[in-house]
Structure 1
Amino acid sequence: MWILSETSFDPTKQHHKETIFTIGNGYLSTRGTFEEGYPNDRRATFIHGVFDDAPVVVTELANTPDWLATQVVIDGEKFSLATGTILAYRRDLDLQTGVLRREVRWQSPNGRVATLIFTRFASLADEHLLALRCEIIPEFDGQIELRSALNGQTDNEGLLHWRHIAQGQLADGAVFLRTRTRKSGIELALVMRLVGDAALTTTFWDVENVPTLRQVYQARSGTPIVVNKFVGVATSRDTGNPLELAHHHLQRVTDWDQELTAQRRAWACEWERCNVVIEGDEEADLAVRFSIFQLLIAAPRHDQRVNIGAKTLSGFGYRGHAFWDTEIFMLPLFIYTMPEVARNLLDYRYLTLPAARAKARAAGYEGAWYAWESADTGEEVTPTWVPDFHDKKKLARVWTGDLAIHISSDVAYAVQQYWQATGDDAWYIERGAEIVLDTAKFCASRAEWLADRGCYGYTDVIGPDEYHDHVNNNAYTNLLAQWNLRAGLETLAWLEQHAPQKAAELRQRLDLTAERLQHWQTVAEKMCVNIAANGLIEQFDGFFKLKDVNLADYEPRTKSMHEIFGIEGANEYQAIKQPDVLMLQFLLREHYSDSQIRVNYDYYTPRTDHTYGSSLGPPIQAIVACQMGDVDEAYEHFIRAARADLRDVRGNAGDGIHAASAGGVWQAVVFGFGGLRIHPDGTWEVHPRLPKHWQQLTFRFTLRGVMHIVTCYPDGRAIVA
């Protein structure tokens, strides 16, 4: 299935639908708000890298001027779904082409009837071009007025980020708006042109910060009026003269059909590399394609200075900040389908190494400690305080920026995965190896010798399970750091053999003395981890002594266990936000037998807050369940992840797409049900385990430059093309 549809308008679901009907092209995204507006909408277009200072959250993506703004006046009455009568309504997002279409048959308060069709897309063929078509079919004779603007009066939920610079009309009739962020000083230019049926009159309204073109048409019953709005967009991150660049991209436009054809061709190329088809389950088929689409429209194809935020570019949630979500949950899709995008995202981590080093140094450590929340510079932008769950008048301390050290090993892991899958030695030598080495340097520096136990560990940390803070020896943190240290040693040995000059440079620049490297080896060999005789790994020191909890006793509920117990109270219980240990075993699959995974799966699964905990947990849980052969249970976790945004399972989809969950959905299908396993030596295998109602699963992936198309069947067969 390719079409996400809405067949009636429900104002109570307005913000949720704005999120899931987001369009984009990897340069920017625009939420699915209505062209004409609606009361309390969250209109937003976000452009990668356009951050500006903000209180509490440090910095945020600045909501750019509204390019959609289009008012239709029907015989003197403004078209709005908040007035008049909706006689028919339908909205479709075509995931195959990235085109959003809305058709409304509307009766004005005075009885005038017209059908209005709005079609829009952000061009994938030209990332600096936006297109909107307005088609009006009147059922009366009279007058129709169109007011199309570039509205600079936008904000981030009340916070103003833009200062008006200039506006006007160019020699060719195009209308422009120039504006600049207040603190970061990023200039933005938008240039608009209207093309379509001849108007009776066209007037330029030079309204400050809202330059507008007003067109008047003669309405004749049954005769369509079609107007196309094209907008060029550019920022000072792209060029020294954004207005000139935006105008250039607008000038090359000839007509709607040509741009739409280019859009379809560009998307066809994308889907050729990453499409997934599930036969026998329409909901799952649409959900996985929707998840892929949401990541594709946020994927920076031509910019290595940006990351993908936890809410992509689709909402105000997390202010555009990037987390480990990118490397662990989203990146695999790109690594195995669009490696050039994966490389861009990893380049961002390379370019922000100075900030990671500064963070480590400020805390008294060596190496690179990446920010838990990262924005344009890579500096730490995690808020220190947020409103308390139970009393919004009080503030609660946020510790992740201070204690979540696993982020550095997560980045290193992603670097190794990219290199393993692509064989991109040149990039690894030039950039990737340095990331792995400097994060290993941090892991060794941050490690503490615990004399009473005779091992190294990490005290006062937060693992992926954020229900528990200030813990000691979190298994995920410790063992991924152990992996990072060993990867660093292996990397240096590989460089010595394949790029000795680079090895010598990094040895000197990173001060990789023989004594330091020996210390890495010792820390890795003597890393603390609590493992029972049956293979059960304790999530962190003392976890088994916490109060056990039967989550079923709290059903039905609409809150997370974190909210129910409180931020401090949650530390006393074994209820977890997501299963750290299972995530660890998924990432380091080669290190664990099925029986070792089984004992941990059986222990941690009933203690995990699957429904209202982290959106990151269910897709990984699904993969591990598949590996254990529990396919029915795997499907329950998978479909929970698949519905996260489409059905607004957690009630917060209005804040933006759950990007990590979207990436996890793809992984659950490919690595879980498809059973794809990539080995460190570059070999691969598939062991399909399909849900009983799936008739067929087809997915594609690229390894070392070769694309493979795999079709899986319920009997466990797999055909590779």
Structure 2
Amino acid sequence: MTSALWTVTEETFNPKAQHHSETIFTSGNGYLESRGAFEEGYPGERRTTFLHGVFDDIPISFTELVNAPDWLELHLFLNGEFFRMDRGEILHYRRTLDLRTGRVNRTVRWRSPQGRITRLEFERFASLADEHVMVLRVHITPEDYSGTLEVRAGWNGDVDNLNYKHWEWLAQEATPEMCALHVRTQATKIELGAASRLSLASGVLAEKTAWDVHNHPTQVVKTTLEQGKTLTVEKTAVYFTSRDVKNPYQAAQEKLLGLPVPAWDALWEPHARAWEEDWQACDVEIEGDDEAQIAVRFSLFQLLAAAPRHDERVSIGAKTLSGYGYRGHVFWDTEIFMLPFFTYTRPQIARNLLSYRYHNLEGARKKARDGGYQGAQFPWESAATGEEVTPTWVPHYADRTKVIRIWTGDIEIHISSMVCFGIWQYWKATGDEPFLLERGAQIFFEVARFWASRAEWNETTGKYEFNDVIGPDEYHDHVDNNAFTNAFARWTLEKAVWLMDYLRQNHPQAAEAYTKNLGLTDEELHRWQEVARRIDYAVDPQTGLVEQFKGYFQRRDVNLQAMEPRTESVQVIFGIEGTNETQVLKQPDVLMLAYLLPELFDKKSLQVNYDYYTPRTDHTYGSSLGPSIQAIMACRVGKQEDAYEHFIRAARADLRDVRGNAGDGIHGASAGGVWQAVVFGFGGLQFHNGKWTVTPHLPHHWKRLVFRFTYRGKSYVIDLPNKGPFSSEEA
């Protein structure tokens, strides 16, 4: 593969697309991520570095990931003129993200307001080998002058989250050799220690000083520039928090003092090796479609950059760590869209993500209790504690002077089963028995209790119902008997009963412990079976068509094709209530159900449901979660051209900002869905009874597809030339 297929490139800088570009050039190492803001700053920027697990509360409102003191700050004064891209004239500009290593490069040829030309090349990376360390450097070449260089860099503790400031100052240090800052979040009392230093190449004469400015300790280096000769300036930075160590301020300084000067070369090699190891396990190769190739690798890079490798008390939010969108909160996006990629390529990361739910089980129990239910109900939006953090009201998207009531935290209840489904898939793929015994089974039992207590008995129909809910299709709220929700309630209850039988047969001590500690009785298990057996599930016995929810077929049908071309979602056009009265879908619940639980659909019913729900879905402007799953289902009903159309829509979600909101952060679910569309859709990988099969459905213009996966401790490389059907299974 050529390097071009590993590189995201920006050849011109468009200030109107600044926030989109900042998202695209986000880089990180699973501990933190920094948006692609310029080192020197730019007007209107959203300059953030988010660290996993560092949440703080805004009183009476919500909790959010906290923007950390800025490690990227680097100000250059060239012969007294401050370099910034909104000053002077840009003669050349190029920025790249190397997906193999996470290195962000920016080359600028700049004519200053006074007419001097300088070539600057910026580089940065956050070490994947040592997650607390980041390095940036700039190569400075004066083309038509000799003169002075002054560099100012330190820590800005006065950062905010869209005008709200979370940090309180504790201590700092500023010397010619190091800057350090100690701060603490106001509500959650998480401490952060940061330390950094500036250095020049060996032998360069320089004057070093420091400014001990309150909450902004700064190092200053002054030297000379010689025409035509390149000078390199390096900044090495370290973060620790009280989530990591007892004294993060001391730890940051000690770590920094132990690093070589300069540090880039020594830190780069282990960092690059760590990324190479990831790509050897995760890479997907596509021949014949360069756009798809880069988009897939970009998606996987963003998932890997956000993935916690050494912390099992955090998860990946819907916008990863790449922007303010959803304030860093975790949704079902993780378990259903992102988790499969890790389960089948990096299972230890998958274990960490699922362990986050285990450690926050008490928060889920609290949510169930607060709603008057038993067991555990996982929140729609989760942060540090596992308690519900979905905002109740948000500004109206069309009129910011008005607010909208958000019901998802109250009645979008299927997320609890999504956590269980992620556990089930992980266990089946890895055989991680200790995780199942110590953590997974407990979650299943507690969620089953929730479903059994949430179910409502309808004496007339003789069915258990789940009324007043929202399914994955959020265009319709306050509906009864949503097919997706009901089917997964039944699935969870059945699997919980099966798990207890499995434990009794294979791990009797664990079964006895759960029976005692959770107070599980045979009577309760029998009730779970009875509730599962009688849950309402509306399917036409003749055609196999599943009604998305009770009364859905009576809602107004809309010909979406007749509304084209359009540039807005149906919900914007019809309004929230108006859309709720139609059959138009944000994403098709029934097709998502058919993807996750294919055993519920035979070939005929799958085709019938695909044909019914596909034309009623707002594919382009609805949910970013939908297109990748739609692509997989199109593959399964033999519609290859449709499958590619949906896949490429998902692949372009961030790189082309197809919904106009990529500036808020990476669409993590779409990134994970892209991998699933390639591997489970076009690659046709499926698992049955401990074996795997591959039945390709490659787009006609793809010449070859290669993907990797791990199953039951074995690693496989699947190489699919585009020359017809292929099938294989585990020996």
TM-score (norm 2): 0.97
Cα separation, 1, equivalents of 2:726 and 2:384: 43
Contact 2:695 2:727 in 1 (8 A): no
Task: Name the counterpart of 1:151.
Answer: 156
Cα separation, 1, equivalents of 2:148 and 2:473: 61
Contact 1:620 1:668 in 2 (8 A): yes
Cα separation, 2, equivalents of 1:427 and 1:395: 43
SS in 1 for 2:442: helix
Cα separation, 2, equivalents of 1:389 and 1:145: 45
Task: Name the counterpart of 2:84.
Answer: 80
| Bigger mean CA offset, 30-39 vs 221-230 | 221-230
Contact 2:168 2:185 in 1 (8 A): yes
Cα separation, 1, equivalents of 2:488 and 2:727: 35
| Bigger mean CA offset, 371-380 vs 444-453 | 444-453
Task: Name the counterpart of 2:173.
Answer: 168
Task: Name the counterpart of 1:657.
Answer: 666
Give 1:388 deviation, angstroms.
2.2
Task: Name the counterpart of 2:39.
Answer: 35
Cα separation, 2, equivalents of 1:515 and 1:302: 41
Contact 1:688 1:713 in 2 (8 A): no
| Alignment map for 1:221-300 (pairs within 5 Å) | 221-254=227-260, 255-300=263-308
Cα separation, 2, equivalents of 1:716 and 1:23: 39
Contact 1:710 1:718 in 2 (8 A): no
Task: Name the counterpart of 1:541.
Answer: 550
| Alignment map for 1:461-500 (pairs within 5 Å) | 461-500=469-508
Give 1:113 deviation, angstroms.
0.7
Cα separation, 1, equivalents of 2:413 and 2:357: 15
Give 1:718 deviation, angstroms.
4.4
Give 1:508 deviation, angstroms.
2.3
Cα separation, 1, equivalents of 2:726 and 2:135: 42
Structure 2 counterpart of 1:610, one-letter code: H
Q: Do residues 3 (structure 1) and 7 (structure 2) align?
A: yes
Task: Name the counterpart of 2:446.
Answer: 438
Task: Name the counterpart of 1:554.
Answer: 563
Give 1:152 deviation, angstroms.
1.2
Give 1:76 deviation, angstroms.
1.0
Contact 2:70 2:157 in 1 (8 A): yes
Q: Do residues 424 (structure 1) and 429 (structure 2) align?
A: no
Cα separation, 2, equivalents of 1:654 and 1:391: 20
Task: Name the counterpart of 2:134.
Answer: 130
Per-residue deviation, residues 323-358 of structure 1 (Å, max 9, x unmatched): 000000000000000000000011010111111111
Per-residue deviation, residues 425-479 of structure 1 (Å, max 9, x unmatched): 1111011111111111111111111122111110000000011000000000000
SS in 2 for 1:523: helix
Cα separation, 2, equivalents of 1:252 and 1:550: 66
Cα separation, 2, equivalents of 1:253 and 1:107: 36
Give 1:392 deviation, angstroms.
2.2
Task: Name the counterpart of 1:676.
Answer: 685
| Alignment map for 1:197-236 (pairs within 5 Å) | 197=201, 198-236=204-242
Contact 1:194 1:229 in 2 (8 A): yes
Task: Name the counterpart of 2:607.
Answer: 598
Contact 1:56 1:384 in 2 (8 A): no
Q: Do residues 705 (structure 1) and 710 (structure 2) align?
A: no
SS in 2 for 1:337: coil
| Bigger mean CA offset, 211-220 vs 642-651 | 211-220
Contact 1:200 1:217 in 2 (8 A): yes
Structure 1 unaligned residues grouped into runs of 5+ = none
- Aligned partner (choices 189, 211, 216) of residue 193 of structure 2: 189
Task: Name the counterpart of 1:348.
Answer: 356
SS in 2 for 1:49: strand
Structure 2 counterpart of 1:24, one-letter code: G
Task: Name the counterpart of 1:321.
Answer: 329
| Alignment map for 1:288-687 (pairs within 5 Å) | 288-532=296-540, 533-679=542-688, 681-687=689-695
Cα separation, 1, equivalents of 2:527 and 2:246: 48
Cα separation, 2, equivalents of 1:620 and 1:266: 31
Give 1:717 deviation, angstroms.
4.5
Cα separation, 2, equivalents of 1:498 and 1:247: 51
Cα separation, 2, equivalents of 1:709 and 1:373: 36
SS in 2 for 1:117: strand
Aligned length: 719
Task: Name the counterpart of 1:691.
Answer: 699
Task: Name the counterpart of 1:60.
Answer: 64
Per-residue deviation, residues 25-83 of structure 1 (Å, max 9, x unmatched): 00000000000000000000000000000256510000001101011111111001101
Q: Residues 57 and 636 from structure 1, CA distance in 2 versus in 1: closer, same or farther, beyond 3 angstroms?
A: farther
SS in 1 for 2:497: helix
Per-residue deviation, residues 235-273 of structure 1 (Å, max 9, x unmatched): 000011102222233233223112111111110001011
SS in 1 for 2:265: helix
Give 1:553 deviation, angstroms.
2.8
The alignment yields a C-alpha RMSD, in angstroms, of 1.3
Cα separation, 2, equivalents of 1:432 and 1:410: 13
Task: Name the counterpart of 1:111.
Answer: 115
Give 1:706 deviation, angstroms.
0.4
Cα separation, 2, equivalents of 1:391 and 1:92: 37
Cα separation, 1, equivalents of 2:441 and 2:205: 61
- Aligned partner (choices 167, 178, 183) of residue 182 of structure 2: 178
Cα separation, 1, equivalents of 2:91 and 2:291: 28
Contact 1:559 1:612 in 2 (8 A): yes
Cα separation, 2, equivalents of 1:481 and 1:649: 34
| Bigger mean CA offset, 515-524 vs 382-391 | 382-391
Q: Residues 604 and 57 from structure 1, CA distance in 2 versus in 1: closer, same or farther, beyond 3 angstroms?
A: farther
Cα separation, 1, equivalents of 2:715 and 2:572: 45
Cα separation, 2, equivalents of 1:56 and 1:664: 35
Structure 2 counterpart of 1:226, one-letter code: T
| Bigger mean CA offset, 476-485 vs 434-443 | 434-443
Q: Residues 330 and 488 from structure 1, CA distance in 2 versus in 1: closer, same or farther, beyond 3 angstroms?
A: same
Per-residue deviation, residues 365-387 of structure 1 (Å, max 9, x unmatched): 11110000000000000000112
Task: Name the counterpart of 2:22.
Answer: 18
Contact 2:173 2:180 in 1 (8 A): yes
Cα separation, 2, equivalents of 1:638 and 1:259: 37
Cα separation, 2, equivalents of 1:557 and 1:73: 48
SS in 2 for 1:118: strand
Moved over 6 A (4+): none
Cα separation, 2, equivalents of 1:573 and 1:309: 31
| Bigger mean CA offset, 222-231 vs 388-397 | 388-397
Give 1:552 deviation, angstroms.
2.1
Q: Residues 17 and 55 from structure 1, CA distance in 2 versus in 1: closer, same or farther, beyond 3 angstroms?
A: farther
Cα separation, 2, equivalents of 1:564 and 1:502: 55
| Bigger mean CA offset, 48-57 vs 687-696 | 48-57
Cα separation, 2, equivalents of 1:251 and 1:225: 24
Q: Residues 262 and 718 from structure 1, CA distance in 2 versus in 1: closer, same or farther, beyond 3 angstroms?
A: farther
Contact 2:341 2:676 in 1 (8 A): yes
| Bigger mean CA offset, 211-220 vs 586-595 | 586-595
Cα separation, 1, equivalents of 2:503 and 2:244: 35
| Bigger mean CA offset, 140-149 vs 279-288 | 140-149
Give 1:184 deviation, angstroms.
0.8
SS in 1 for 2:514: helix
| Bigger mean CA offset, 445-454 vs 542-551 | 445-454
Structure 1 counterpart of 2:647, one-letter code: F
